[in-house]
Structure 1
Amino acid sequence: MHEVFPFYLILIVVIVFLIVLANKIKVAYPVLLVLAGLLISFIPAVPTLHIAPELIFTLFLPPLLYEAAWSISWKELWRWRRVVTGFAFGMVFFTAISVALVANYFIPGFSLALGFLLGGIVSPPDAVSAGAIMKFVKVPKRMSAVLEGESLLNDASSLIIFRFALIAVGTGQFFMGQALGSFAWMIVGGLAVGLAIGWVFMQLHRLITSDANVDIVLTLVAPYLMYILAEELESSGVIAVVSGGLYLSAKRYVFLNSYTRLRGLSVWESLIFVLNGLVFMLIGLDLPEIVQSLHAEAISLPIAIGYGVLITVVLIGSRFLFALLTMFITKIASRFITVADARNPGYKAPMVFGWTGMRGVVSLAAALSIPLQVSEGVDFPQRSLILFITFVVILSTLLVQGLTLPLLIKKIKLNDFDDHMPEEEAERYLDAGINAKAMEFLKKHEGQQLYTELEKITLHWIENSTRVKDHALLPLLKAHYQELLESQRNWLLAANSGNERLDEELVRKYLAKIDLEESRIMEV
């Protein structure tokens, strides 16, 4: 391991350079990283890397999911819950069925069980790729909210299909009743584990509020414990991490102080930056091992590429079709139940949703985790071909869809659904609200001890919306000022939860300003 350690350090430096370059030329960085990994893999002196699936599932996946759960808006997730659930579960199952039928019909030696196995592997779109592309184009908030919500849950549904298909291939049997029971336990067990561990960690945070370093370490440990325990109980580790992350995210202003929230955000941003970079670079670097296994089984490379392109076309087509079906089903359902928005979005929104299906690291990890043998002395059928098809799907969707999605979005000019206040209007509303809380606070303390000093720093905070002057605050004055900041924070949280048209991302920027001011006066 120590012999290749310098190589990994060089990789991290290359990753940083490529991500900076991607931002400058406005290209999604996963595309550049995969291509760079491919090019590096052809250099003779580069060591051949063997990517253990356990490394990706256990080391990379929990923190990536956990950070996504903390970043997503619960308000938006709940608002679009029906569409999100439809894409995260319905779309994945629909895609897996489509892939299974096509693979069974067109690829020699592919049974339906193997087709479902391949479908479970390649069905979940990659959240990081879509998110990286959305930075460079403007899309309606509802679309980004649905894509973020889908990315939190689709890994769980695809890995559930993968597990059942793996059992069916190994045993040659499939019992519907047993499968439904296992499916229910994976969902319920994952939820229970995630929420239970989330609650325990919240209590631990409350007991250790004086040490920000310990708090941050606990946030790093939590997703791994959720994932590992859920998997040990044969439930869904993905759902455990997502549910636990959403629970703790919603309670962050209860058990974490402002200083810890700010420091923790910086730590997590750096960690996720490195992890995302590494996993996409490793995808490209793994090509030699995949091609070598294909040659070992005497499978023609052009034919294998053809199968990969075929499955890619099926994936894109099925996602387009499901996006259209979702639109029509929502329209029909609006006659019987209340939905978030029953307006017909036309063909543009389904077209964009259909073109956001880039595949990534979860698909590769699932393919790599296929065992070498079904039983002692019996090789797993079509394993090398499944691995190669998965690689072709990842590479082609990243290159074709990843590079053309920004052009598509600019070309079709998506409609503005008017889901949220314009940013300037929202800023005026938030400024007026927190300033009103400040004046209300001053009126409440009028005539009390240190009122003049309190008025001075409060008015300075209102006028500048930044830090107060750098001078030592008396303990009583500091306590009053913290009370003011807490009242403004509570008002922002209430405004966010009570107003659907407020963009939570903007509200979080205001909350971060208050955290910054509060953490600063704690040090004065």
Structure 2
Amino acid sequence: MLEHFPFYLAMIVLIILVIMLSNRIKVAYPVLLVIAGLLISFVPGIPVLKIDPELIFIIFLPPLLYESAWANSWKELWYWRRIIGSFAFIVVFLTATSVALVANSYIPGFSLALGFLLGGIISPPDAVSASAIMKFVKVPERMSSIIEGESLLNDASSLIIFRFAMIAVATGQFVWHQAALHFVWMVIGGVAIGLVIGFIFLKAHQLLPTDVDMDIILTFVTPYAMYIAAEETHASGVLAVVSGGLFLSYHRHRFLGSSSRLRGENVWQSLVFLLNGLVFMLIGLDLPEIVSGLKEEGVSFDQATGYGLLVTAFLIFGRLLVGYGALMTTRIMSHFIEVADEHPGLKAPLIIGWAGMRGVVSLAAALSIPVALADGTPFPHRNLILFITFVVILVTLVLQGLTLPYMIKKIQLPDYGDHLPENEAENLIREELARESLDHLTGNHKEELKVSFHLQKLVKQWEIQLKPGETPVLPEHIKSIYKNVLEKQRALLLKKNRSGRKIEEAVIRKFLHQIDLEEERIKAE
């Protein structure tokens, strides 16, 4: 481990450089990271990265799922619950079943149980890849909400299928009534455990005398506590983390102060950035070991590639069919129940169907397959499953990942009018905040308002915001002047910090932080 430490550091630096390149050429970073890992794997003498299969889920999944739950909007999830639920549960089950039938029919020695195992691994699309791609093209909010909400929940359903398939492969039997009861417990128990532990941590933040650092550390512990507690009781650890994460995200302003939220968000973004980078790089680096394992199973590289491309093609076109099937179902159901959108159009299903890149969860699930069964016999077709998973991830990331931005631009998605334009919404919120603030001051603090210069200054700012035609948004040339002023202030503070010891550096840093926040504020306008 220690002799390879410089290589691990170099890999982290390489991840940063690749992501910088992806931002420059406007290509989603998961695509470039997988290709980079693949190219590096052919360099002679490169260390083989090995992670204990039993630790894959614990290392990567809890923090990635938890951060995704915090980033998702509960309001949007609930509004689009029918389409998200359909893709996250029904479509995943249909996909896994279809993959099982295809694998059982066309891959020699592949039982239905192994087919369901493979289906559970490769059925969930990856939210990270889709989000990274959509960063470079403008898509309607509903599209990103549906895709991200689907990927948040379909991980749970696919891993439940994966777990049942593992039991069937290991025992050689599958008892339906036991599986049904176990499924109910995995779902209900996972959600309940996540909510209970989330509530406990919420109270811990509220009642214990924590500071910002302690708050952030507790947020690191939370997803692991949820996941491990659920798995120990044979419930779904994924659903526990997702449900608990959504609960805490919804109540974040009840138990975290502004400093904890601000610093915690930055820390979590860095952590998830690193974990995602490592996973996508690991996908490419794993190929030589997977190929060598194929030889042990007696499967040629060409045969395995053919199986992988067959399954990939089936997944891509199957998801497109499902997208348009969901469109037809929505139009039929709109005659009987109220739906979020009665006429979603023909373009949206195409984009949702094409945004089916596989990634982190599929790799983690495949690598978590044990090398041997409980009786010591090698796990059947483990290396072939790993290789097919690799092909699916690589082809969907490169093919769909590179063409999705072009497709979005080409078909020109309509403005569905789900939300107000961003500038209009911001101005509306500013006006309402100003009105609420003025009403509070004039109604509750009349005497202080007469004598306090600071309150009078705030009142003037809010009154300007309420004047017709006035806008607090700075024109671009004024922004440029203001940024120059902030840069002069920053330079003065740094010079003052270097020139003497009369002012404590902590005070200087406080003012530098305020300048940074102000600069970010005007950038966002």
TM class, shorter-length: 0.7 to 0.9
Please give the alpha-carbon distance, in whole angstroms, between the structure 1 residues aligned to 2:296 and 2:407: 41
* Residue pair 2:84, 2:150 contacting (<8 A) in 1 also: yes
Match of 1:11 in 2: 11
- Cα distance in 1, alignment partners of residues 102 and 221 from structure 2: 42
What is the DSSP-based 3-state SS (H/G/I as helix, E as strand, rest coil) of the residue aligned with 1:393?
A: helix
3-state SS of the aligned residue for 1:43?
coil
- The answer as to whether partners of 1:4 and 1:47 remain within 8 angstroms in 2 is yes
Equivalent residue number for residue 416 of structure 2: 417
TM-aligned CA deviation for residue 98 of structure 1: 1.0
CA distance in 2, matches of 1:322, 1:446: 62
Measured in 2, the distance between the counterparts of 1:210 and 1:185 equals 35
Structure 1 equivalent of residue 45 of structure 2: 45
Aligned to 2:432: 433
Is the Cα contact below 8 Å between 1:197 and 1:226 reproduced in 2? yes
1:328/1:221 Cα in 2 relative to 1: closer, same or farther (>3 Å)?
Answer: same
Equivalent residue number for residue 298 of structure 1: 298
Question: C-alpha distance in 2, partners of 1:388/1:422?
Answer: 46
How does the TM-score come out when normalised to structure 2?
Answer: 0.86
8 A contact 2:76–2:145 mirrored in 1: yes
Distance 1:156 1:130, change over 3 A: same
Partners of 2:435 and 2:462 within 8 A in 1: no
| Equivalenced residues, count | 472
The 1:377/1:245 distance shift into structure 2, 3 A limit, reads closer
Aligned to 1:73: 73
Q: What does residue 255 of structure 1 align with?
A: 255
Q: Secondary structure at the match of 1:378?
A: coil
Return closer, same or farther for 1:462/1:316 CA change in 2, 3 Å cut-off.
Answer: farther
CA distance in 1, matches of 2:459, 2:4: 56
Output the amino acid matched with 1:309: L
Residue aligned with 2:373, SS: strand
2:281 aligned with 1:281:
yes
Residue equivalent to 1:150: 150
Give the corresponding residue for 1:196: 196
Residue 458 of structure 1 deviates from its aligned partner by: 4.3
1:193-220 per-position Cα deviation (integer Å, ceiling 9, x unaligned): 1101100001110123551111111011
Task: Give the secondary-structure state (helix, strand or coil) at the position aligned to 1:104.
Answer: helix
Instruction: Give the direction of change, closer, same or farther, for the CA distance of 1:95–1:462 in structure 2 (3 Å limit).
Output: farther
**1:429 partner amino acid:** L
Counterparts of 2:76 and 2:326, CA distance in 1? 18
Alignment check: 8 A CA contact 2:56 2:367 kept = no
Unaligned runs of 5+ in 2: 465-471, 475-488, 490-513, 519-525
What corresponds to 2:503 in structure 1? none
Q: Which moved more, 1:367-376 or 1:303-312?
A: 367-376
Q: Which runs of 5+ in 1 are unaligned?
A: 471-512, 518-524
Distance apart, 1:465 and its partner CA: 8.6
1:118 aligns with 2:98: no
Aligned-partner SS, 1:136: coil
The 1-side partners of 2:28 and 2:358 are apart by: 13
Match of 2:509 in 1: none
1:361 maps to what in 2?
360
> Does the Cα contact within 8 Å between 1:195 and 1:244 map onto a contact in 2?
yes
Aligned twin of 2:373: 374
Q: Which residue pairs with 1:320 in the alignment?
A: 320
Question: For residue 453 of structure 1, what is the amino acid of its counterpart?
Answer: H
**1:485 aligned residue:** none
Distance in 2, matches of 1:112 and 1:31, equals 32
Match of 2:399 in 1: 400
Identity %: 61
**How much has 1:55 moved relative to structure 2?**
3.5
Provide the rounded CA distance (Å) in 2 between the counterparts of 1:344 and 1:456.
Answer: 49
Residue of structure 2 equivalent to 1:267: 267
Shift of 1:385: 1.0
Letter in structure 1 aligned against 2:394:
L
Distance 2:286 2:462 in 1: 54
In the alignment, the residues of structure 2 paired with residue 373 and residue 221 of structure 1 have an alpha-carbon distance, to the nearest angstrom, of 31
Scaled by the length of structure 1, the TM-score of the pair is: 0.87
2 CA distance for matches of 1:5 and 1:389?
30
1:227 correspondence with 2:212: no
Instruction: Output the amino acid matched with 1:368.
Output: L
Matched, 1:333 2:328: no
- Superposed CA deviations along residues 357-409 of structure 1, whole A, max 9, x for unmatched, are 11112112211222223342532222211111111111111111111111111
**Cα distance 1:209–1:440, how it changes in 2: closer, same or farther (>3 A)?**
farther
Q: Which residue of 2 aligns with 1:383?
A: 382
Match of 2:447, SS state, is: coil
Counterparts of residues 48-127 of structure 1 (less than 5 Å): 48-127=48-127
**Range moving further from structure 2, 72-81 or 167-176:** 167-176
Contact 1:208 1:214 in 2 (8 A): no
Cα deviation per residue 1:467-503 (whole Å; 9 max; x = unaligned)? Answer: xxx9xxxxxxxxxxxxxxxxxxxxxxxxxxxxxxxxx
- Would you say the 8 A contact 2:438–2:462 is kept in 1? no
1:253–1:301 Cα change, 3 Å: same
The residue aligned with 1:507 is none
Query: Secondary structure of 1:62's partner?
Result: helix
Distance apart, 1:453 and its partner CA: 3.0
The letter for the 2-side match of 1:430 is: I
Secondary structure of 1:206's counterpart equals helix
Quick check: 1:37–1:285 contact (8 Å CA) kept in 2? yes
Deviation, 1:49, is 1.4
Structure 2 CA distance, aligned partners of 1:388 and 1:83? 32
| Alpha-carbon distance in structure 2 between the residues aligned to 1:38 and 1:157 | 30
Measured against aligned partners, the alpha-carbon deviations of 1:99-139 in whole angstroms (never above 9, x if no partner) come to 11111111111111111111011101111001100101111
1:375–1:271 Cα change, 3 Å:
closer
- How far did 1:272 drift? 1.1
Matched with 1:456 is: 457
Who is 2:186 aligned against?
186
Aligned-residue CA RMSD (Å) = 2.1
The one-letter code matched in structure 2 to 1:408 is M
Q: Does the CA-based 8 Å contact 1:100-1:116 persist in structure 2?
A: yes
Structure 1 residue 180, shift from structure 2 partner: 0.9
Distance 1:336 1:289 in 2: 54
What is the deviation of 1:339? 1.4
Task: Quote the residue 2:170 is aligned against.
Answer: 170
1:155 positional shift: 0.8
CA contact (8 A) 2:53 2:369 kept: no
Q: How has the CA–CA distance of structure 1 residues 73 and 388 changed in structure 2, closer, same or farther, with 3 Å as cutoff?
A: same
Deviation, 1:51, is 3.1
Q: Distance in 2 between matches of 1:3 and 1:176?
A: 50
SS in 1 for 2:183: helix
Query: 1:52-100: per-residue Cα shift (whole Å, max 9, x none)?
Result: 3333311111111111111111110100001111111111111111111
Tell me the secondary structure at the aligned position of residue 3 of structure 2: coil
8 Å Cα contact 2:56-2:368 kept in structure 1: no
Segment of structure 1 superposing worse, 201-210 or 309-318: 201-210
Letter in 1 for 2:252: R
| Stretch moving more, 303-312 or 444-453 | 444-453
